[in-house]
Structure 1
Amino acid sequence: MEIVVKHARHDEIWFGSGNRHVRFGKQEFCLVTVLAFGEIHVHVINKYHHINDVIHERYFQSRSTHVDRLVARFQQCNFQRSGDPIRLALALFVSLFFIGQDSRRSIPFWLWWYVEDLPRYNSFPWGSYIYSMTLYYCQRAFKHRGDWGYNLYGFP
């Protein structure tokens, strides 16, 4: 259960564990994940720049694609280009492991842009993005669920 601590920052959560206060913040997240932190430009994840002949177009005709459809496509092992298995695997990895998406949710369009450009993908500050999502969903769960239980989405 989340507790209130006077010196808590807006980007961390404190828990009560026995007689101790335990913090979950960027430092703890970084220690566990070793993911890069940095500035995320909002326009990067809010706008999708369509590029012709990209993986999303080849396999999904640029339509919104749910995670379960991506899993099925990946399992078919019928790839058109040599780098496509890696790109599809990266989209799966981010969606299922990093973000922890439900299989019925759509893959964000901006993610296709990143898996198409591997240097861009590798330089993205995944730690900042995933930490902010994890923190948001943790705070949301604590705020709306009370003592019933928690559904945590994101990296946990």
Structure 2
Amino acid sequence: MYRVTCFGYFLDVSDVVLSGQFCHHVLLQECHVRDVDDTASTLWFYVGNEVLRFSTVEFCLVNGLTFGDSCESSSYITKHMDKRILRSYFRDGKVHVKIFANWFRNLGPDNNVSGDDMVKLALVFFLEMTLVGKNDRNAIMYWALQLMNDLDAFNSFTWGTFIYGRIFDSLCTYVVGPDDKYNKYLESPAKRKAKKYNVYGYGQLKQYPNGLCLDMRQG
């Protein structure tokens, strides 16, 4: 049943090891293009004497997720939508990603979760842990649990547009200059360390802007 959902084809995707150095290198090549009539949520990279674009369109082309103009959850969720999953397994309250992930991974063969519910919970697990990939101290998306009760609505949601928006917001804040507080911290030579940042979101897709745009230009 999972295979026929909107995320089912990911079962056939080969494992890809995230390269932090590659991601950082690509982000350092980001540039700004003048006089381009484009959306604000577009990234440009200067690679090999070429200016390459990476936007929602390229993101959805490479991963197959649904592209659309609207990714507002409110347009998919109705006030009459069933909340049974949310109430049955999450007590209708906030649950952090780490708690949910540990609970899901430790489900044994004798659990009381039905087959249909297991598929729905697996969809949310994949969404939170892989596609969105946020800090495990954050709460899982309440509306996604609600939307999950209607698989037709879940499958038709514009996940590509939504996830790209999350990744774009993160990418725009990864490589930034140190703030005043950090500069003061570096005044002491004994405390002088390299600044680090965390990479959240669909890790495999963060490695694609460089190669994807080159492939499209050559094809």
Question: How does the TM-score come out when normalised to structure 2?
Answer: 0.61
Using the TM superposition, name which of 10-19 and 34-43 deviates more. 34-43
Higher RCO structure, 1 or 2 (CA under 8 Å, sep 6+): 2
Shift of residue 72, structure 1, vs aligned partner = 2.0
Q: 3-state DSSP class of the match of 1:15?
A: strand
Partner of 1:141: 174
Structure 1 residue 108 corresponds to structure 2 residue 108: no
Shift of residue 94, structure 1, vs aligned partner = 0.7
Give me the identity figure in percent.
Answer: 30
Is there any run of 5+ residues in structure 1 with no aligned partner, and where? none
CA distance in 2, matches of 1:123, 1:152: 28
Partner of 1:120: 153
Alignment of 1:18-29 (within 5 A): 18-29=48-59
Partner of 1:98: 131
Question: Residue by residue, what CA displacement relative to the aligned partner does 1:34-54 show, whole Å, maximum 9, x if unpaired?
Answer: 111123364628x89586661
Question: How does the TM-score come out when normalised to structure 1?
Answer: 0.82
Question: Residue by residue, what CA displacement relative to the aligned partner does 1:76-110 show, whole Å, maximum 9, x if unpaired?
Answer: 23233231111111111111111111222110110
- Report the CA distance shift for 1:24/1:112 in structure 2 as closer, same or farther (over 3 A): same
Partner of 1:56: 86
Using the TM superposition, name which of 84-93 and 24-33 deviates more. 24-33
The number of aligned residues is 155
CA RMSD of aligned residues (A): 2.8
Contact 2:133 2:200 in 1 (8 A): yes
Is there any run of 5+ residues in structure 2 with no aligned partner, and where? 1-27, 180-193, 207-219
Q: 3-state DSSP class of the match of 1:76?
A: coil
- Report the CA distance shift for 1:81/1:114 in structure 2 as closer, same or farther (over 3 A): same
- Report the CA distance shift for 1:42/1:28 in structure 2 as closer, same or farther (over 3 A): closer
Partner of 2:100: 70
